[in-house]
Structure 1
Amino acid sequence: MLAFHLAMDRTALDAWGNPEDIGATTVAGPIAVSGKILFGSLDSPVSGGLYAATQGQYRVTYPFNEHATLLEGELALTDEDRGVTEVYGPGDSWIIAQGTTVLWDIRSAAIRKSYLAVSLSV
């Protein structure tokens, strides 16, 4: 079992570079992203762990289905396919379907989330 709490110790994450290094496009930045895969691997159909990013905006078309919970910070996610924006704070969760294009607007100095990613063959 992996437990994620809002008040948990902030595990050091691995530097993942910038949004382009994870298949996204920076809109406003610079942005640094980091993470740690704690379940599965990049090649697994199911994986999960922690992800963090610094303030800015980037756009990504999701290569997997994701359930995530924001652990710290504030961000707005815009589903560009539907034109809907939701603002999230610590403890809030979302589900994003594979293939959805999302604009990330990180409004605080940084965000951190826990996530579970499920890739389906297309």
Structure 2
Amino acid sequence: MPSAQDLATSAAAMGAPSMVVYTPDTTIDQSTLAPLGAPESLGGRVLEGSPSLSARVDYSARGMTAGIFKATTGRIEITFPFTEHATILAGEVTMTDESGQSRTFKKGDSYFIRQGQVVLWDVRTPYVLKSFFNITEPLQP
């Protein structure tokens, strides 16, 4: 599995511009996404289906990562390993937090989740595609 730094270096080597624009009205070249491996490697536990995860990292430095993420159909319980702000670009995902609050996010919707929160991630469409900005905070002992 390539690291975020490897993916960011690849993006830079491909001549990625200094400003990357993600909009729900723009088609993302999904061939630029690299497989991320099993959901368990990102803090997830598959509850249903065989979801695959892939991403393109456009920026990675000092614990911050930004880019595009794709997940295919399935249900995953995930303890977020980072704090994330994301915007859905295509497809839909329903997220349910630990309190039972549930929301379906569609194209153009954004969300914010803090590192350590447990969320049920449920994709019923063929896939969901999102732009993301993540920051990993040092874990407290």
Provide TM-score, normalisation by structure 1.
0.91
1:87 aligns with 2:104: yes
Partner in structure 2 of residue 58 of structure 1: 76
CA distance in 2, matches of 1:18, 1:53: 11
State whether structure 2 residue 25 is matched by structure 1 residue 7.
yes
Aligned partner of 1:98 among 115, 118, 121: 115
Q: Which residue, out of 67, 73, 81, partners 2:91?
A: 73
Runs of 4+ in 1 over 4 A off after TM superposition: none
**What stretches of structure 1 of length at least 5 have no aligned partner?**
none
1:23 matched to 2:43? The reply is yes
Distance, in Å, in 2 between the alignment partners of 1:74 and 1:45 is 28
Q: Which structure is larger by alpha-carbon Rg, 1 or 2?
A: 2
Once residues 27 and 102 of structure 2 are traced to their aligned partners in structure 1, the CA distance between those partners, rounded to angstroms, is: 30
Q: Distance in 2 between matches of 1:4 and 1:29?
A: 28
Between Structure 1 and Structure 2, the one with more helix by share is 2
Please give the secondary structure, in 2, of the residue aligned with 1:3: coil
Distance across 2 between alignment mates of 1:72 and 1:37: 18
For residues 21-46 of structure 1, what are the alpha-carbon distances to aligned partners after superposition, in whole Å with 9 as ceiling and x for unaligned?
Answer: 322110001111111111116xx411
- The Cα of 1:8 is off from its aligned counterpart by 1.6
Alpha-carbon distance between aligned partners in 2 of 1:23 and 1:63, rounded to the nearest angstrom: 6
AA in 1 matched with 2:110: S
SS class of match (1:21): helix
Higher mean Cα deviation, 10-19 or 25-34?
Answer: 10-19
Length-normalised TM-score, structure 2: 0.79
1:117 paired with 2:137, answer: no
Cα pair 2:95 2:119 within 8 Å, conserved: yes
Listed as ranges, the gaps of 5+ residues in structure 2 are 1-18
